[in-house]
Copies of this chain bind each other. A is one copy, B any other.
Amino acid sequence: MHDEELRALDAHWRAANYLAVGQIYLMGNPLLAEPLRPEHVKPRLLGHWGTSPGLNLVHTHLNRVIGARGQRGLAVWGPGHGGPAVLANAWLEGSYSQTYPDVSRDAAGMGRLFRQFSFPGGVPSHVAPETPGSIHEGGELGYSLSHAYGAAFDHPELLVTCVIGDGEAETGPLAASWHSNKFLDPVHDGAVLPVLHLNGYKIANPTVLARIPEGELDALLRGYGHEPLHVTGDDPFAVHSAMAEAMDTALDRIAGIQAAAREGGERGRPRWPMIVLRTPKGWTGPAEVDGLPVEGTWRAHQVPLAAVRDNPQHLRQLEAWMRSYRPQELFDEDGAPTAQVLACVPEGDLRLGATPYANGGLLLRDLPVPPLERFAVEVDKPGVTLHEPTRILGGLLERVMADTAGRRDFRLVGPDETASNRLDAVYEASGKAWQAEVLPVDENLDRHGRVMEILSEHTCQGWLEGYLLTGRHGLFSCYEAFVHIVDSMVNQHVKWLRTTRKLAWRRPIASLNYLLTSHVWRQDHNGFSHQDPGFIDHILNKAPEVVRVYLPPDANTLLSTAEHVLHSRDHVNVVVAGKQPCFDWLDLDAARAHCARGAGVWQWAGTEDGTREPDVVLACAGDVPTQEVLAAASLIRRHLPELAVRVVNVVDLARLLPKDEHPHGMADPAYDALFTRDKPVIFAYHGYPWLIHRLAYRRTGHAHLHVRGYKEIGTTTTPFDMVVRNDLDRFRLVMDVIDRVPGLAVRAAPVRQLMEDARLRHHAWIREHGTDLPEVAEWTWPGR
């Protein structure tokens, strides 16, 4: 490389470093036009310097290759707490001012860039939704590489560069996601270029990968399936030179791999290149502060000079540090970057801060969801026929998969459970992505597949997030209990969506859709360890404008729910549905109407005569509770025919919330019309019963609300025994009615005894036979 080009790269890097330091420290005098005084410095110094020079280096060199090759690019900054670096680069390339015109590319804008950083009312200290060019919040660590792969899938023209900090590399989700390269199709997918940045330290400790011998690290990365290129140093020009060469080598190899697969028909699994970049933490920052080493140590992690306002020595050191970048060579008198600084910067939407891939809504097309009529089950009479709801959904998903075969903008992800969850019809339209070895006995593996299965919920979630954030559609099917594995990931995605919904320049993206199945009530093979319905509780703590929870009670309501969530935008939708045979309650029209309301009376199931309020409301949410409520209603019909019972089914859980607490919340009059203001409500709920109270505590009738649900009494047993143990069974529900309807206790005592007897019969039968009572196993809805 010519010296001139190296000097230009170095100028860009110095400018970015200068701007990073300025953001952390200054609220005035951004160009150091005068000597630095304490009042130029922010009163609260908040941010992360340590990783910034490394991120700036990668960004500078990415600029060069993107410009030189006209390469479509996206960058994922794993150490995104180095927000000052990414913001500095976006400002330098002009994409920041394009997004936020008041932060102009001049002295005034530089002043605003500095002041707003980590300042109340300003911008977060991390790479965040507010940062142009970002799809990855830089706070919680572990998800950069899976996000990068998600972005690269089905974007064959795209290069996703992913910087992985050596801190993040210690996390489980990151460690697992290295194997994503076994799922990257060199024909239809883009490329991911991991840059493992070893600056040696975390907050207060050395990092593991920086402290194993280079040969061992190299073996590890080759074991992950990569060809590592090592760039090491602390001399800027030597590192620039080595980094430029490594970038060229990596991009050449990627181009070669893609050409071989796309044009040459090569079918082997490629060994993709990656870069190991080893530079000092806080490189070019203060070498020592107060007599302690800082550059190249963990002490450079956040704010190396902490007392700048009060300590004149610190102030002098800060000024010397900033002037060491020679800002007068980098910015003209108006504060604009010089031509030399901008020499490496690409144009237009090749700029990393302006790439449309980071604003996925720009690329998003509506998903073709076929008419549900083609998949719906016929229901002549409710509660007689049985279907596996997720299997019915599988038919719909197969069609979506088939209809996106050309567009390639829909993927189904799951941890090795697609078939277990009865969605295997999708294999007719697409196999499972797989680039590793295939044996003759294997089924449905496909180098070009869009069904993604790896036994890592973290990787599944990260892939899907990256895919959605870059403008595509998808669904995550997961065992209900184990979706808790991604609790913390979904937190961040909800936060992301909450923030982007307020940013006009961010276009809506497809919702993150969960299908939770193999749920708490049907863990016949597994038992207690697989029983946990608490993800619903977790999700409903989050931003109400983003989160939605649906509990369709049968196959057709699941279809209708699926259609809705697949079309929705900027939400996190949680759909809980069973994979075991389940009664069909509603035909498609009724299912659609019911789902549109979200909660409603099942007139045909109750015994109201319409002349007065019912004596009791039997409410249900979830497939198993719905079955038990209907069975209880049929028992009441037989044994207490004079009782006016209303059956209410809730599909959309947020309907129970007050209107001002959730967009789907019900106004009080509507709630009262459904549940009454003063009649007992026996509510059979899929999950933890207190959640229903938490949703409904403001309602007038709340004191009359009695909820049955999962009480953490999990075990290995039959389906009906599970509901009996948790007091959610039909017999107990009838007893609850008798206990709660005023005046019924004495009159209905014999019926109550019948119910108790039935429970005793159950206990005796199951001990003997290990199966459910025939009267339960063979029960169907008797009709009127």
Q: Which residues of A contact B (CB under 8 A)?
A: 27, 42-44, 46-48, 81, 118-126, 128, 137-142, 167-168, 170-179, 182, 202-208, 211-213, 216-225, 293, 296-297, 302, 416-420, 432, 434, 436-439, 441-442, 445, 453-459, 481-482, 484-485, 487-488, 491-492, 495, 498-499, 524-530, 532, 534, 537-538, 541-543, 688, 690-691, 693-694, 697, 702, 712, 714-718, 721, 766-767, 769-771
Contacts and interface: CB of A to CB of B under 8 A. Distances in A.
Contact of A220 (B219, B293, B702): B219
Contact of A487 (B46, B121, B203, B484): B484
B693 A439 contact: no
Given A121-B717, A205-B432, 18 more contacts: A44-B770, A118-B525, A124-B528, A139-B529, A141-B455, A168-B455, A172-B175, A175-B176, A205-B453, A217-B223, A219-B223, A481-B491, A485-B488, A495-B529, A693-B693, A693-B697, A694-B697, A697-B697
Contact of A174 (B139, B172, B206, B525): B172
Contacts of A48: 525
Given A46-B525, A721-B120, A712 B498 contact: yes
A177 B118 CA distance: 35
A293 B697 contact: no
B454 A170 contact: yes
A142 to B, nearest CB: 7
B712 A293 contact: no
A432 B203 CA distance: 14
Given A142-B172, A526-B81, A167 B216 contact: no
Q: 10 smallest A-B Cβ distances: which pairs? A: A220-B223, A139-B529, A172-B172, A175-B175, A172-B176, A211-B436, A484-B488, A170-B455, A219-B223, A694-B694
Contact of A716 (B124, B455, B457, B542): B124
A537 B694 CA distance: 11
Contact of A767 (B121, B177, B482, B487): B121
Contacts of A485: 140, 142, 487-488
A94 to B, nearest CB: 25
Contacts of A223: 216-224
A149 to B, nearest CB: 14
B714 A416 contact: no
A528 B499 contact: yes
A662 B177 CA distance: 41
A456 B171 contact: yes
A716 B170 contact: no
A487 B535 CA distance: 10
B302 A541 contact: no
Contact of A527 (B125, B167, B203): B125
Contact of A714 (B47, B218, B488, B495): B495
Given A202-B455, A487-B487, A527 B126 contact: yes
Contacts of A491: 481, 484, 532, 534
29 contacts: A118-B716, A120-B716, A121-B766, A124-B526, A125-B526, A138-B529, A139-B526, A170-B454, A171-B172, A171-B458, A172-B172, A172-B459, A182-B212, A202-B455, A203-B420, A204-B416, A205-B432, A206-B437, A211-B437, A216-B223, A219-B222, A220-B220, A220-B224, A495-B528, A495-B714, A537-B537, A541-B712, A691-B694, A697-B702
A43 B121 CA distance: 65
A478 B765 CA distance: 49
Contacts of A222: 216, 219-220, 223
B220 A208 contact: no
B436 A206 contact: yes
Nearest to A224: B220
Q: Which of A48, A526, A766 has the most CB of B within 10 A?
A: A526
Contacts of A482: 140, 488
A417 B224 CA distance: 29
A214 B172 CA distance: 23
Contacts of A120: 716-718, 721, 766-767, 770
Q: Which of A172, A211, A538 has the most CB of B within 10 A?
A: A172
Contacts of A179: 170, 208
B172 A456 contact: yes
Contacts of A220: 219-220, 222-224
A203 B416 contact: yes
Contacts of A172: 142, 171-177, 456, 458-459
A27 B120 CA distance: 69
A697 B120 CA distance: 37
A27 B481 CA distance: 30
Contact of A525 (B224, B302, B432, B457): B302
A455 B697 contact: no
Contacts of A538: 487, 534, 537-538
Contacts of A456: 170-172
Contacts of A529: 124, 126, 128, 137-140, 492, 495
Contacts of A176: 170-172, 174-176
A93 to B, nearest CB: 24
A441 B296 contact: yes
A27 B770 contact: yes
